[in-house]
Amino acid sequence: MRVLSYAFALLAFAAASSVWWTHGQGNAQQQPPPASQTNWPQSQANFPQAAGWGGGGWGWGGTHASTAEEGMMTGMANMMQAAGARNLMNSQALGFVEDARRKNIDNRMYGTDAYFEMRKTNREARAAETGPPPTRTDLERFARQRAPQRLSPSELDPLTGAIAWPAIFRDDEYKEYRDALERLYGQRASAGYLTGSERGGLAQAIDAMQADLKMNIRNYVPQDYVQARSFLDGLRLELLAPSS
């Protein structure tokens, strides 16, 4: 709106200047020009030429207006053209900014998608290597296999409490533990039960026997060590199982 108001003001000024200029031309025809201005065109007596853009007079491209009205109109047109060019360049600059912002968002979205895609690929590759997860039936079977088994009647006689010891526990260093366990299991077989203190003594004897076995692990064949360890687990499980 300011540009239009300024344009209308220039148009009004140009119209007034045209009347004034016409009146001045009539006076100029009646009065001879001074001797110093006899070589100047009459219409440019009050607008001397000067170096402008491009090495010419006033105006663009090295040209100048032939009349005052043309100069004013050219100047106003140049102002309007400059304002339009400024608006165009501002609009293009805003377009560049929005395009850069959109590309930045697209790059961030691409990076996020690539990250989660890599995680998905990694999970699928790990699942393919490890195979399907175990079912509930598989877990129950594994638990039964890992659970300690009760000793057979040939290993622990339920009628007399006699214990058939593995080869490792027949050494003299385990004699004290053997005697204590055989006495307690024999008492349970004859009486059918053990008191609380007797059950505690039996558990302590098994723990001490297992600690000595672990301390001497380097002296045994791995297969014999595993058999002896499983035998002690079976004796401990008999504390919870009812006597026959």
Instruction: Characterize 75-95 residue by residue with b for buried, 16 or more Cβ atoms within 10 angstroms of its Cβ, and e for exposed.
Output: ebeeeeeeeeeeeeeeeeeee
Q: What is the pLDDT of residues 90-116, one digit of tens each?
A: 988 988 999 999 999 999 999 999 999
Is residue 225 within 8 Å of 217, Cβ to Cβ?
A: yes
Instruction: Report the mean per-residue pLDDT for the chain.
Output: 77
User: How sure is the predictor about 54, in pLDDT bands with cuts at 50, 70 and 90?
Assistant: very low
Q: What is the mean pLDDT of residues 199-227?
A: 92
Provide the percentage of residues in the chain whose pLDDT is more than 70: 71
pLDDT of residue 33 exceeding 60: no
Q: pLDDT (tens digit, 9 = 90+) per residue, 122-138?
A: 988 888 888 777 788 88
Tell whether the model's pLDDT for residue 164 goes beyond 90.
yes
For 14-23, what is each residue's pLDDT tens digit? 554 554 444 4
What lies within 8 Å, CB to CB, of 241 at 6+ separation is 150
| Domain positions in the chain | 57-133, 151-237
pLDDT digits (tens, 9 = 90+) for 226-237: 999 999 988 888
